[in-house]
A and B are shown apart, each in its own frame.
Chain A
Amino acid sequence: MATKTIAGVNINVNEEGYLTDPSEWTREVATEIAKEEGIELTDKHFEVLEFIRNKVMNGEGLTIRGIGKSGIVDAKTFYQLFPGAPLKKATKIAGVPKPVSCI
């Protein structure tokens, strides 16, 4: 385990850059991780991030299908908001563990 200075604060991260303690997450931290991933966060991004954080905090599994049915974004928009590997990127920015889902 390592620490990394994100947005001027020392944050615990794993070797892949995922936060190991979701409570250390702030909007500023999210903005900075997103920048590293080449994403400029909008309000819509934050709505999705909040949804993901709530899901994970409740111990529920994450799938792209589930996010597509969240009422916040459809699957297509989710892919557009976090291009490339959306679930991996979104969880990293949301400060929660990397998902183990295959679907």
Chain B
Amino acid sequence: MEKEKKHPLKKILLICSKANLEDVYAALVMANGAVMEGIETKMFFTFFGLDAITKKTMNKLHTATVGNPAMRMPGGLPFPTLLGGLPGVEAGVTTMMKKEMEKLDMPPVDEFLELIEAGGGEVYACKLAADMFKLKKEDFHETVKDIITVGDLYAMCDGEGTQIVFT
């Protein structure tokens, strides 16, 4: 059989449109991992994902305890949706998640973004969503390089070996 020619990934663009703790971390881990491998990395935050780069909200993200069928009690038993709706439960679960993440040396959101920036990764906010939520450049974390349009985003995807991932 002929040897298949490989085309290594050279550039990746990660789009994050949600601000559940786990959605944001999925995007951050993927971005940071790409930076660590020497892949050119850009992140684009849109809609509720903007919470992850907004100074006021970025370190207060929660994991959803309602409508999350994969939720388990610490012993592995299913987590009843009704329980998830009680006051304080979401906060408690989130605190637990964050503690477990810290054990694995996963940094808080702002520090994670700084780590990505340190490695040459770039962070962008979506203009349309920023307009909608009435957010300005100064509302965003310092690592946010610019507020850009979808067109600008696609223009960044030039070059061979580029992939866009929507998380």
Contact = CB atoms under 8 A, between A and B. Distances in A.
Contacts of A103: 29, 32-33, 104-106
A64 B118 CA distance: 10
B107 interface: yes
Nearest to B35: A79
B119 A79 contact: yes
B38 interface: yes
B36 A75 contact: no
Contacts of B115: 64-65, 68, 75
A86 B35 CA distance: 9
Contacts, number: 43
B119 A75 contact: yes
Interface string B36-53: 111000000000000000
B80 interface: no
B84 interface: no
Q: Looking at chain A's contact residues, is the secondary structure mostly helix, strand, loop, or mixed?
A: helix
Interface residues of B, number: 16
Contacts of B120: 79
Interface residues of A, number: 20
A16 B32 CA distance: 23
Interface string A20-50: 0000000000000000000000000000000
Contact of B33 (A66, A76, A78, A102): A102
A81 B32 CA distance: 18
A85 B36 contact: yes
A21 to B, nearest CB: 26
Contacts of B111: 65
A1 to B, nearest CB: 25
Nearest to B30: A102
Contacts of A76: 118-119
Interface in A59-93: 61, 63-66, 68, 74-76, 78-79, 83-88
Given A84-B38, A85-B36, A87-B36, A61 B119 contact: no
Given A65-B111, A66-B105, A75-B118, 4 more contacts: A63-B105, A75-B119, A88-B37, A103-B29
14 contacts: A64-B36, A64-B115, A65-B115, A74-B118, A75-B114, A75-B115, A75-B118, A76-B118, A84-B38, A86-B119, A88-B37, A102-B29, A103-B104, A103-B106
Interface of B: 29, 32-33, 36-38, 104-107, 111, 114-115, 118-120
